[in-house]
Amino acid sequence: MISGFEAIYGGLPEAQASAPGCVNLLGEHTDYNDGYVLPIAIPQQTIVAVRCSGAPQFSLYAAELRQSVQFTFEAPPQAHFASYVFGCLALLRKRGVRVPPLDMFVSSGVPIGVELSSSAALEVATLRCLRQLLNLPLDDVQIAQFAQRAEIDYAGVHCGIMDQMASSLADTDRALLLDTRTLARRFVNLPPGSAVLVLDSGIARSLAASGYNTRRAECEQAAQLLGVASLRDIDRVNQLASLPESLHRRARHVVTENARVLEAVNCTEASAFGELMNASHASLRDDYEVSTPGLDALVALLQAQDGVFGARLTGAGFGGACVALCESGAMQTVARAVLAAYQKAGGAGRQLVPSDLN
Ligand code: GLA
């Protein structure tokens, strides 16, 4: 990393920080409804290194993309990846921090565009690096809140706070139970003998942005019709009876998904936890309608495989990755068998977590 920085800028960075990507085990499409989520960090990290530049403008180099961009606060970068970094810089400046022009170097080990929070990892790593460089009095929750704000205001994604809280606070050994309304949180052990497997479906998330915004609006509409601040305030599905059919199904997903998260954190058996993941997928497919036939096929192959306790799509849906809870000793066999069967059925998947089992 430091050698990469040196090769580009011809000197050493003054600060360097990293942040992990994350995968959500349960609690999908609940964060923007003030509900519960259960993400866990993945080993892959994004690293950001910076130094104050003598130049009048910012320079940003993205190692994996081999792309360099220059920008100022008056002339923001056009490249999409740079908007996440620019958002963090611009937001700090708006909050009164004097941010000098910087030479910045980014290296992302987090797979991009598959719902493993690569944008949150980039934002959190950027903010951690700036905290170090400029001695900013920000704690890890504030870093997550700034990161979310930067994504909404400058990258134009109206996301919830799960990804940023997970990247800023989660670890790779235990899941993070987070109440997105109060930000109360605690670590939860995975059931004994189990481990997390993540496979990419290879399906591009082409409808993700529009689908996400529509679902969000539907939830807000349902909450309004029910006279509550958000769907978090409903805890029984029979309270949804007055809603029109499609809103009823959307809201039912959110209410049952919140209940699944709270049930999962008390599971001592991996099989019980896995059943909840299977039920989550069915709900995302049938009630929330954010799955695709390809994701359903990959999830079904995982669910049918010996050594798998449960599986589901993870993240917003419409493509991207699937997560499974597996017997810890069976990961390699499961991944190989499922990816081979998926390929036979016409899919092109790959293993993302663990990243060293190929
Ligand atoms: C995306 C968003 C998250 C969350 C998930 C769905 O990944 O970034 O905030 O809403 O979708 O659970």
Task: Look up the domain containing 274 and give its range.
Answer: 194-353
Residue 311: CB within 6 Å of ligand 1?
Answer: no
Domain count, the chain: 2
Residues 233 and 183 both lie in one domain: no
Residue 23: CB within 6 Å of ligand 1?
Answer: no
Residues 159 and 22 both lie in one domain: yes
For tokens 């700090």, what's the residue? 92
The per-residue pLDDT for 156 is: 83
The per-residue pLDDT for 207 is: 65
Q: What is the mean pLDDT of each run of 10 residues along the chain (358 residues)?
A: 88 97 98 98 98 96 95 96 96 97 97 94 98 98 98 90 98 97 98 98 83 95 98 97 98 98 97 98 98 97 98 96 97 97 97 80
For tokens 């920085």, what's the residue? 5
Residues 119 and 251 both lie in one domain: no
Residues 181 and 207 both lie in one domain: no
Residues 42 and 168 both lie in one domain: yes
Residues 198 and 170 both lie in one domain: no
> Looking at residue 259, which CATH number applies to its domain?
3.30.70.890
Cα distances (Å, whole numbers) of residue 231 to 227, 255, 329:
10, 7, 39
- Closest of 261, 67, 61 to residue 178, by C-alpha: 261
**Where among 189, 207, 227 does a domain terminate?**
189
Q: State the distance from the centre of ligand 1 to the C-alpha of 101, rounded, in angstroms.
A: 32
163 is catalytic: yes
Burial class (CB in 10 A: 0-12, 13-18, 19+), 37: buried
Residues 132 and 251 both lie in one domain: no
- Closest of 53, 24, 80 to residue 261, by C-alpha: 24
Instruction: Report the alpha-carbon distance of residue 352 to residue 358 in Å, rounded.
Output: 9
Best residue among 163, 176, 318 to mutate for probing ligand 1's pocket (most ligand atoms within 8 Å of CB) is 163
Q: State the distance from the centre of ligand 1 to the C-alpha of 61, rounded, in angstroms.
A: 27
Flag whether 36 is in a domain.
yes
Flag whether 358 is in a domain.
no
> Looking at residue 134, which CATH number applies to its domain?
3.30.230.10
**Where among 135, 161, 189 does a domain terminate?**
189
CB atoms within 10 A of CB 306: 10
Specify the length of the chain in residues. 358
Residues 185 and 97 both lie in one domain: yes
Residue 151: CB within 6 Å of ligand 1?
Answer: no
Instruction: Report the alpha-carbon distance of residue 358 to residue 350 in Å, rounded.
Output: 9
Residues 123 and 149 both lie in one domain: yes
Average pLDDT, the chain: 96
Best residue among 22, 25, 26, 29 to mutate for probing ligand 1's pocket (most ligand atoms within 8 Å of CB) is 29
Residues 7 and 33 both lie in one domain: yes
**Where among 189, 219, 239 does a domain terminate?**
189
Coil/strand/helix, residue 61: strand
Residues 344 and 202 both lie in one domain: yes
Residues 46 and 140 both lie in one domain: yes
The per-residue pLDDT for 358 is: 47
